Structures are given as C-alpha cells and as structure tokens.
A = this chain, B = another copy of it.
C-alpha cells in the first residue's frame, strides 16, 4: 500500500503536509483519508496488512491497500452481514464464518442467545493477531468460550468438515486472487452441503456502483446453487459508491428469506440493523434490479 501525499490540502500548513491515503474505486474516483499514524504494517504470506489511525474514521484495517473495516462505520457491514441471516433463521445454534478475521461478524453472531458455537475460519493468522491487538472493540468476541478460531483455508475446511451449520457467513475480501475461490459455484455447492436442513448461507456480494459486473456474476452463481437466494443492500460509507450488497441464500428453496425476522434480545442495541431495516433492505432501486437481472 502506498500512503500518498496530498500537499495541496487547505488545512495543511505550508511545509507540513499531512499523510493521506487514497483508495481508488474506479480509474477516476477515490476515497481519500487523512492518516494520523500507521500502527501496523506487515506482509503476510497472503497479503499486505496495514492498520492506520485516521482523522475521521478511527482505526482502519487495509488489506492490499483496500479498506476492510473502520472503527466508525464497521457497525453497518457487520450488523447487516450477521443479523439478516441470523434473524431469518428460527434458531441458529452452530455458525460458521469464513474469512472475517477482524472478528466483527463473530461479535454480532454471539449476540443471538441461541448460538452455541461459532467457528471462524480465517486463512491469515496475522490478520487475526493484528485485529486482536489494534481493534479490540471489533475482535473482542474472538475470546468468547463459544468461539473456535481456526487458521486455515476456508475452501479446504468446508470440503473436509464433518459438522453441519445452521448459518454460514462468508466475510471475504474482494473476489480477486485469494478470495476468488469463495465466489465459485464449486464452493457454493460445498457450502450448501455443509448446511443443516433449514440452514442459511450469506455473503457480501460487492456493490452496484463500481462493481456491478462482479455483483451480477457472483449473484448469478449463488442463484445457480441456491435457487431461493435474495440480495439485500446497506449503506456502507467507506465502501465504493457508499452502497453494498449481500446475498442471503437458503439451503431449501422453499425457505422464505424475506419472512418476518426473529427479533434480537431486547437489550442488544443495534445501530444499523432493525427488523424494519431487514425488510426494507431487500428492496432494490430499478438500476440495481437491472444489474442483478
């Protein structure tokens, strides 16, 4: 990752340029953030891991220079990836999370009283270690006794696992390089086999503004394997276009994933998710419906 410098910022006194990081969403569009300091920077066997403290979004985790999560807006992505499937399931007990080494989805899944076990399968141990140290508010749930953290390849894990899950959440990086196998039909078939009857699969499925082609491709592959799959949307301010999509796919096509969701325990306060948001998130603007086809 390059930390670019933008010395023309009005708030930077002359001769004292601040460090700015820019993530490019398209050839001519980027989100730029003022970086106060870099807390962690390392190259693992899989990717470059960078943890920076920013002016507006708190601490930000970058993998290969792409924003994965920020302290300020992580609640949107994690609540929506976890609670929509978890609340669509009548009694989620055994949960598998593939990727998501920051622990955000684990934290949210644990808020459901029915959960007995959460297995996190993350390929890159250095991501887990970095987040445990620098993002304790996100990674804190990893120490819960109900959680098992396994450092291994999610594809291999799901091929070999003898367990069956009520809910499988795939919290992966963009579907290039390392994460590409997690968006293939062969993986979706294995995930479907690893679900209990009545089980639900959910995954981030890219955004419609800059990644429409990826969103369409991934969604079509998921639907080939899970004919009952549906797409829902959320506003993630730091993701390209500010809007992100998720696929919710039931093992049985007869499961209505848009049925009235089960409620979270009343003392579990959420900031983005609510039963009303759950229902509204499945509504697509016509331009999004057109991408999905």
Contacts and interface: CB of A to CB of B under 8 A. Distances in A.
A55 B33 contact: no
Contacts of A24: 9
A242 interface: yes
* Chain A: number of interface residues, binned into ranges: 35 or more
Interface in A1-58: 2, 4-6, 8-11, 22, 24-34, 54-57
Nearest to A275: B283
Contact of A8 (B4, B277, B285, B286): B4
12 contacts: A2-B8, A22-B32, A27-B55, A27-B56, A28-B33, A29-B34, A30-B31, A76-B285, A273-B286, A279-B280, A280-B280, A280-B283
Contacts of A284: 277
Copies of this chain: 2
A123 to B, nearest CB: 26
The SS class assigned to the A binding surface is: loop
B283 A276 contact: yes
Contact of A57 (B10, B29, B233, B279): B29
A271 B242 contact: no
Contacts of A276: 283
